[in-house]
Amino acid sequence: MTSISYVQQQRITRLCVRCGLLLMQYGAESAVVVDLSKRLGFALGMSSVECSLNFNAITLTTICNERCITTTRDTINQSINVNLLVQIQQIVNKTEATINSNDLIDRTTLAFDELDKTVYPTWLVGIFVGASCAAFANLNGGSWSITAVTFIAGMVAMFTRIYLAKHHFNPFITVIVTAFIASLIGATTYYFDIGNNADIAVASSVLLLIPSFPLINSLSDILKGYVNIGIGRAVFTYMLTLSACVGIVMALVLLRIQHWGF
């Protein structure tokens, strides 16, 4: 593209901020968000692209022929979807590889419109999460009865978490309720004297609530210079952990279990 009009620059700016917004929403680290957003802008003919990130917003500026357009978008946290992140990266790579195409903006827009956002069925996710919790319990020396109770607790807790997330509950409330239900089912091993070590069931049933991916992203952001958003993500992660602890304690207090823990 030799000449880019104001309207075309507006469309390119929207595409770049859309790219960054999707990356932030679905779990990409800040360096990837900035890099792909800038690469997309350059591939579409911009002379400069600047991108600034906050914990819940993205601000992006494109410059072309001494003309500057800036836009800001709010972000909404979604579940982590690595498949979507890979698709976006492939779109950027394909756009960069295309040379002298007059309909490049239209083709890139269409590619973003056709992103595959499908996820695994709820029942399948619940079964595999329950299986992972059960496997963790078994590896820690839990008997088969402990493993079975942990499987049920983890599966029911995951169904609860997905249900609450679909109905847009506050993420901290979602974690508290999920931890409460998982611990309540896991703690039945105390109440009915099931298995060889009830502590394993309680600890393993809340394995799904460990925010490992966001915690890794927050550390990566801080180390790569995105301190503000890194600290924001870290605080969010610690609040999720605290919420899980509140849910666990509520369940144990309700069942009047005082001798818990390894």
In this prediction, residue 77 has a pLDDT band, given cuts at 50, 70 and 90, of confident
Rounded Cα distance, 100 and 98, in Å:
7
Main-chain dihedrals φ then ψ at residue 170, nearest 5 degrees: -55, 135
Helix (H, G, I), strand (E, B) or coil at 57: strand
The CA distances from residue 55 to 30, 74, 236, 243, 255, in Å, are 10, 9, 10, 20, 38
In the numeric block, the tokens 């360096």 are attached to 31
pLDDT of residue 176: 95
DSSP 107: H
Tell me the pLDDT tens digit for each residue of 209-245.
988 888 888 999 999 989 988 998 899 999 999 999 9
Please report where in the chains the tokens 């792909």 appear, as a residue.
36
Among 66, 71, 55, which residue's Cα sits nearest to residue 12? 71
* pLDDT averaged over every residue in the chain: 89
pLDDT tops 80 at residue 3: no
Beta bridge partners of residue 67, listed in sequence order: 64
Q: State both tokens at 70.
A: 């800036």
Q: Which helix (H) or strand (E) holds 136?
A: helix 122-139
Res. 260: pLDDT tops 60: no
Q: What is the mean pLDDT of residues 184-202?
A: 84
Q: Return d(Cα 191, Cα 13) in angstroms, integer.
A: 59
pLDDT > 60? residue 191: yes
pLDDT confidence of 63, banded at 50, 70, 90?
very high
End-to-end Cα, the chain, rounded Å = 65
| Helix (H) or strand (E) run with residue 115 in it | none
pLDDT higher at 193 or 32: 32
CA distances from 95 to 78, 127, 219 (A): 26, 39, 31
pLDDT of residue 76: 80
Spatial CA neighbour of 129 closest among 205, 189, 44: 205
pLDDT digits (tens, 9 = 90+) for 90-143: 999 999 988 777 788 999 999 999 998 888 899 999 999 999 999 999 998 888
User: Coil, strand, or helix at residue 29?
Assistant: coil
pLDDT of 40 over the 60 cut: yes
> One-letter amino acid identity for 141?
G
Q: pLDDT confidence of 262, banded at 50, 70, 90?
A: very low
- Give 138-161 pLDDT, tens digit per residue: 998 888 999 999 999 999 999 999
Distance CA 91, CA 95 (A): 6
The pLDDT value given to residue 261: 52
Find all residues with CB under 8 Å of 166, minimum gap 6, and list them.
Answer: none
pLDDT grade for 1, boundaries at 50, 70 and 90: very low
The answer to whether residue 58 scores a pLDDT higher than 60 is yes
pLDDT at residue 9 in the model: 92
Indicate if the pLDDT at residue 189 is higher than 70.
yes
